[in-house]
Structure 1
């Protein structure tokens, strides 16, 4: 099975939400690639959360698309010289580098260069050491804007084990930031409707195909728990470690669009990896269409069932039953809903899942 590129994938992608599909696609919007409802939701959330005008929010979304392309190119070109990438508060590309020579390369590409003291390899090494002391209801991720590791501890974590994690974090000084939040870190399965099986409900993810057959790429904790859905059987699951799985779509209906839960859809024309600072939206069968911002990438979330690595953390609202639903930015698919905790949501990167199964987006 062939591998897909790490960055943009020029293929169509869709979400199947049984009972909520419409053959119509929302009319073209003034921001390229955005349906009218997704544009409205993304602009409204961004204006509210950042305290800016809707016009400024629209300008930021337009800039974001160009910035992501620039970051994809620079990440590939710089290799180990890049020490983290993100979008600033205007949606412009920023690249952390270790040398002035690399900074000059970044500036020639029109991005902002920020010389930092810690490499990505160093931060990932710290992250791995912290993970050895981790416990359920915690997460450990990278914050490229601050050039450090962030440890988040929910109050459901065992006190003694959380104390051990805190003690480990202190060993690394200002390279590690600790956040304490309410609630739990949990995956998002619920009893109810949407795609159903075994008395459980998830949200269908990206419609794909391989060898002339349609499949749904979904959350692994859904496909691992339920063998038969109302849309077809689960054929693979990877959870924990990852959180992706595959469902054979036997419905005969596998559109390349995300349902917006109002009778309209958002066409998706590519898939890519997410960047910190990127404005995003998600579609799920419990909370419908919600929007927010990517807070961190390469996050390890420690659920009660085990740890899941390299997740994307966002501020978009999710709840039980949203698992498997689609994370996207305009017309670009980004991830599969995994879980939530501490007011944040967590997503399995979709490019990794597509590569794992060698499937093509519809």
Structure 2
């Protein structure tokens, strides 16, 4: 059991691990499941997402289905209002019922947000103030086994510190967090934040097992965008050769797909698939799914954005944090919400998992999602 406390007190939690591991693909050619009644969701994904919502939020199955039906539009509302109102807002998220909430700094902006159909939450810290706090923390010499990310629900930057934290200036980092006042919340975690590549049981390149991310194409050639720590470790996979790796700093890479099969659908590991028709930024509170070769299909929600994780191999920035289950071997697998692609599996903790936003990888390599 964990106890989360606001302010700068500490929270017990486990550490984060990079998830390298296998050939079982996130994307496979399999029959597409029948309509689920939730637009964009295959039957199996809808079933998993509804079950997770019922268990975590205590809502009925009908209420859970309605949350899933409306969350894509609600996430776009949060994004649109942030763009329209600019520095008068301080981020936003979806609440437990999937409704859009936008953090605002004054009453006039709150009225505009409410007029647009979203809930307005008056907060103390601006986006600029939180970004400045995160930048200040990241300017301290990197301390291995720590992470820094934005929590719009509490209007804070969260500094997670493992009991294995080493290197850099840990005392200086904590002093800096203290000086930043209530803009920063410190959480304690246990264990190491380490690279974990499984060997032996894998059937991909070099005995290393990872999961396929997203099938893409460019100039008539199919490619797979995957985790950079996977493509950096292996030059030749059973699906084709690695063509690029950005890790650390980022965690994305590219594999040239020479199999002749590259469907734009996620394997659900039961003979059915979930079609991916677009990609978008993640939103805190958004209900998500993850497909990977170890834990297969799991569901959860987005907890934080813009997370920096300080692995022993170096820092990785701007990750998405969720509470969906992931384990070694799931690296490179797909994070998605119904038919919308969101990210590429990077790392894990106890009850948390971390993802490279897929849009950055697509842009970096100039590739397009297969449909």
TM-score (norm 2): 0.89
Change (3 A) 1:22 1:88: same
1:264 maps onto 2:272 in alignment: yes
For residues 235 and 257 of structure 1, the distance between their equivalents in structure 2, rounded to whole angstroms, comes to: 22
Report the more deviating stretch, 146-155 or 205-214.
146-155
Q: Return closer, same or farther for 1:192/1:97 CA change in 2, 3 Å cut-off.
A: farther
Structure 1 residue 185: Cα displacement: 2.1
Cα distance in 1 between the residues matched to 2:191 and 2:326: 14
* Partner-residue secondary structure (3-state), 2:171: helix
Residue 199 (str. 1) matches residue 235 (str. 2): no
SS of residue matched to 1:137: strand
Q: 2:112 aligns with which of 102, 105, 111?
A: 105
Q: CA deviation at 1:144?
A: 0.6
Please say if 1:54 is aligned against 2:61: yes
Secondary structure, counterpart of 1:201 in structure 2: coil
> 2:48 matched to 1:41?
yes
* 1:258-313 superposed Cα distances (whole Å, 9 cap, x missing partner): 00111111011110010111110100011101111100001101111000111000
DSSP-derived class of the 1:186 partner: coil
- State the shift of 1:230 in Å: 0.8
Please state whether the residue corresponding to 2:359 is helix, strand or coil. helix
RMSD: 1.9
- Greater shift, 133-142 or 235-244, is seen at 133-142
Q: Is the contact made by 1:186 and 1:340 (CA closer than 8 Å) also made in structure 2?
A: no
Residue in 1 that maps onto 2:172: 164
Q: Which digits, 9 at most, give the CA deviation of each residue in 1:141-187, with x for residues without a partner?
A: 01111111111112222399443322221111211111112222234
1:180-203 deviation per Cα after TM superposition (whole angstroms, max 9, x unaligned)? 122222345322566711121110
Which one is further off, 191-200 or 284-293?
191-200
CA distance, structure 2, for counterparts of residue 23 and residue 327 of structure 1: 19
Asked if the contact 2:143–2:167 (Cα under 8 Å) also holds between the matched residues in 1, the reply is no
> 1:160 and 1:223, CA in 2 relative to 1: closer, same or farther beyond 3 A?
closer
- Report the counterpart of residue 27 of structure 1 in structure 2: 34
Does residue 330 of structure 1 match 2:338? Answer: yes
Question: Secondary structure, in 3 states, of the residue corresponding to 1:245?
Answer: strand
In 1, the alpha carbon distance for the partners of 2:308 and 2:82 equals: 22
Query: 1:55, CA displacement in angstroms?
Result: 2.4
Task: Decide whether the 8 Å contact of 1:243 with 1:338 is kept in 2.
Answer: yes
Q: Are positions 1:249 and 2:249 aligned together? A: no
Using a 3 Å threshold, how does the CA distance of structure 1 residues 355 and 79 change in structure 2: closer, same or farther? farther
Say whether residues 1:175 and 2:183 are aligned partners.
yes
Q: Secondary structure at the match of 1:202?
A: coil
Q: TM-score scaled by structure 1?
A: 0.91
Q: Distance in 2 between matches of 1:47 and 1:113?
A: 26
Aligned positions of 1:208-247 closer than 5 A = 208-247=216-255
Pick the aligned partner of 2:74 from 49, 67, 72: 67
Aligned partners of 1:354, 1:290: CA distance in 2, in Å?
24
Query: Comparing 30-39 with 78-87, which one deviates more in the overlay?
Result: 78-87
Shift of 1:140: 0.5
1:88 maps to which residue? 95
| Distance in 1 between residues matched to 2:49 and 2:81, nearest whole Å | 26
Output the CA distance in 2 between the equivalents of 1:97 and 1:233: 48
How big is each residue's C-alpha offset from its partner over 1:192-218, in whole Å with a ceiling of 9 and x where there is no partner?
Answer: 566711121110100000011000011
1:291 aligns to 2:299 (yes or no) = yes
Which one is further off, 195-204 or 150-159?
A: 150-159
Give unpaired runs (5+ residues) of structure 2. Answer: 1-22
Between the two proteins, the alignment pairs up a number of residues equal to: 347
Decide whether the 8 Å contact of 1:287 with 1:318 is kept in 2. Answer: yes
The structure-2 alpha-carbon separation of the partners of 1:247 and 1:195, relative to structure 1 and needing over 3 Å to count, comes to: farther
The match for 1:136 is 144
State the SS of the aligned residue for 1:52. Answer: coil
